[in-house]
Chain A
């Protein structure tokens, strides 16, 4: 059985306080790190979300009649009421 008593300094621990910062400063560094990650995630999320607005939508539901006022453009891979294949579009009302 060993006894948990250590008195000798570890051999690779030289200069252990050389670059130490205070606990308060360290907490600030950690907070700043967290906020940086939140900031990057926010920018990435907003960017991806807005970028996704240009993604070609996919629907497997039956198409619904388009409102008369909507600007109907074609959607790839989606079938219109007349059964024809679609082209590019950002709208959604016509491909339901």
Chain B
């Protein structure tokens, strides 16, 4: 199945599950005496419980999803789904209070107090507060104010929130007293958390034990940019392809807490792998200081921006700044017709250019072409637009285009190639800013 076909299938499966859950809520309603509020409470609660599992699975780093859908797409689905999830949880709580106040003939405040006294409701409410907290730190304005590490730590509370709300879900009238449905619901949660355990906890430990990746060199490349070269054993078993990345956790006192996604900046050679890192945040800055001998936990490989996506004989690679890292690996390895490979490399200053010598050596060896676009963005000849794109690469519409750059440059390049006539399905990119 093709990449887009697989993506559509995954989305259809998620949608079908949601519809099935709504059907469960409808079937669970009493035949008489039920109003809209109880139905909303049931449906919102059940779909929220289902969606919580979907959100967990999307972030469980299941290899087939990571490689065929792509982590950036999964992260986008997760972010959108999380907003729906929070709305459903709030809708469930509100509708439940309204329904109870109608049943009891009391005011909403009294009804809310009574609902909170029901079995499992207090824990579920704590879980809801935790989810709202996670949602709050994920709002763009708040997200910009806290470090990735702090944001990630708060995000882990989501698992606690799911555990706290689980007894309440089983006690809901749609499931309670129906052992088959209760077991199915519990299995759905157990498998979702099992996937996290398998791929986010056991997987990296397994990889560490098997491959024993250790840092062997930290090499300066450009201003604020270093390459970290690691050596391990059975590196070929990792199955890493050019264009992919791993989440790296360097086991030092200051860096072990968080895994950071960095692309391979070269195709694995023998028992070596290399990444190239620019100091952009707290975590990536600390990685500059890791020493040879440091043990490394690697999760991956992830990423769908590989040569598998290529369907045309010629390829254009567009890189901006440190976005050159996956492009460098693709430039070295992707198959094209002779003379059909072009790299367009945008940097603000000559000092920001990474891998100049290596890129030129690869270009010579592969008869490939490099367009160095180095200078200020105010220079009209360097601006990323359709007119310049057609001037730089006249046959851009006939190629597969791979793109990795900062969000602003990526947006400009996306528009430039699309306006130059490139069909969307031939543009391959991943957003690494998640």
Interface of A toward B, CB cutoff 8 Å: 1-4, 6, 10-13, 16-17, 20, 23, 26, 29-30, 33-34, 37-38, 40-42, 44-50, 52-53, 55-64, 76-77, 79, 90-92, 95-96
Chain B positions 130 through 174: 1 when the CB is less than 8 Å from some CB of chain A, otherwise 0: 000000000000000000000000000000000000111011110
Given A23-B237, A49-B183 in contact, is the A62-B198 Cβ separation under 8 Å? no
Question: In the complex, A45 Cα to B42 Cα: how many Å?
Answer: 22
B residues in contact with A90, CB < 8 Å? 177
Which of A30, A55, A77 interacts with B170 by CB under 8 Å? A55
Residue numbers in A under 8 Å from B419 (CB-CB):
none
Assuming the contacts A3-B358, A11-B293, A49-B170, asked whether A58 and B179 have C-beta atoms less than 8 A apart, the reply is no
Set of chain A residues within 8 Å of B229, measured between Cβ atoms: 4, 6
Measured CB to CB, the closest approach of chain B to A63, in angstroms, equals: 7
Apart from A10-B216, A61-B33, 14 more pairs, CB < 8 Å: A3-B357, A4-B227, A10-B231, A13-B216, A48-B170, A49-B186, A49-B187, A58-B168, A58-B171, A60-B103, A61-B103, A62-B30, A62-B103, A96-B33
**Complex contact B272–A6 (CB within 8 A):** yes
Contacts of A2 in B (CB 8 A): 219-221, 227
Of all chain B residues, which has the CB nearest A22?
Answer: B234
Whether B183 and A56, one on each chain, are in contact in the complex, defined by CB atoms closer than 8 angstroms, is no
B residues less than 8 Å from A64 (CB atoms): 30-33
In the assembled complex, the CB of A70 is this many whole angstroms from the nearest CB of chain B, namely 11
- Sample (15) of A-B pairs whose CB atoms are under 8 Å apart: A1-B221, A1-B358, A6-B229, A12-B214, A23-B234, A41-B194, A42-B187, A44-B186, A48-B190, A57-B173, A58-B171, A58-B173, A61-B42, A62-B102, A92-B177
State in angstroms the CA–CA spacing of A13 and B357 once bound together.
30
* B residues less than 8 Å from A42 (CB atoms): 187, 190
A14 vs B173: C-alpha distance when bound (angstroms):
61
Looking at chain A's contact residues, the main secondary structure is loop
The residue that B34 contacts in the complex, of A55, A62, A79, with Cβ under 8 A, is: A62
Nearest residue (CB) in B for A57 is: B176
Which of chain B's residues have a CB closer than 8 A to the CB of A61?
29-30, 33-34, 38, 42, 99, 103, 173
Measured in the bound complex, the distance between the Cα atoms of B269 and A34 in whole Å is 29
Within 8 A of A (CB), among B212-243: 212, 214, 216-217, 219-222, 227, 229, 231, 233-234, 237
Q: Which of B240-277 contact A (CB under 8 A)?
A: 266, 269, 272, 274
A63 to B173, CA, bound (A): 12
Residue numbers in B under 8 Å from A17 (CB-CB): 233
Known: A57-B171, A77-B118. A16 touches B186 (CB 8 A): no
Specify which chain A residues have a CB less than 8 angstroms from the CB of B210 in the assembled complex: 26
Is there contact, CB below 8 Å, between A41 and B191?
yes
Q: Give the interface of B toward A (CB within 8 A).
A: 29-35, 37-38, 41-42, 96, 99-100, 102-104, 114-115, 117-121, 166-168, 170-173, 175-179, 182-191, 193-194, 197-198, 202, 206, 210, 212, 214, 216-217, 219-222, 227, 229, 231, 233-234, 237, 266, 269, 272, 274, 292-293, 355-358
Q: Please, which residue of chain B has its CB at the minimum distance from the CB of A34?
A: B198
In angstroms, how far is the closest chain A Cβ from the Cβ of B166? 8
| Shortest Cβ gap from B380 to chain A (Å) | 30
Q: How far is the CA of A16 from the CA of B117 in the complex (A)?
A: 60
Top 4 closest pairs, chain A to chain B, by CB: A49-B183, A57-B176, A41-B194, A45-B190
Chain B residues near A53 (CB-CB < 8 A)? 176-177, 179, 182
B165 to chain A, nearest CB (A): 12
CB distance from B385 to the nearest CB of A (A): 30
A62 touches B187 (CB 8 A): no
- Which of A6, A11, A64 has most B Cβ within 10 Å? A6
B220 proximity list for chain A (CB < 8 A): 2
Residues of A within 8 A of B35 (CB): 62
Residues of A within 8 A of B168 (CB): 58
Closest to B92 in A: A60
Question: A4-B229, A46-B187, A61-B29 in contact; A55/B167 too (CB < 8 A)?
Answer: yes
Which of A20, A47, A59, A92 contacts B233 (CB under 8 A)? A20
Quick one: closest B residue to A20, CB to CB? B233
Contacting B104 at CB < 8 Å: which of A3, A10, A79? Answer: A79
Contact partners of A40 in chain B: CB under 8 A: 194
Q: Which residues of A contact B190 (CB under 8 A)?
A: 41-42, 44-45, 48
CA distance in complex: A20, B197 (Å)? 25
Q: Measured between alpha carbons, how far is A11 from B294 in the docked complex, in Å?
A: 11
Contacts of B173 on A, CB cut-off 8 Å?
57-59, 61, 92, 95-96
A11 CA / B37 CA spacing, docked (Å): 68
Q: A12-B214, A55-B176 are in contact. Are A48 and B186 (CB under 8 A)?
A: yes
Pairwise interchain contact B274-A4, C-beta atoms closer than 8 A: yes
| Docked-complex contact B194 and A37, CB < 8 angstroms | yes
Contact of A58 among B103, B119, B293 (CB under 8 A): B119
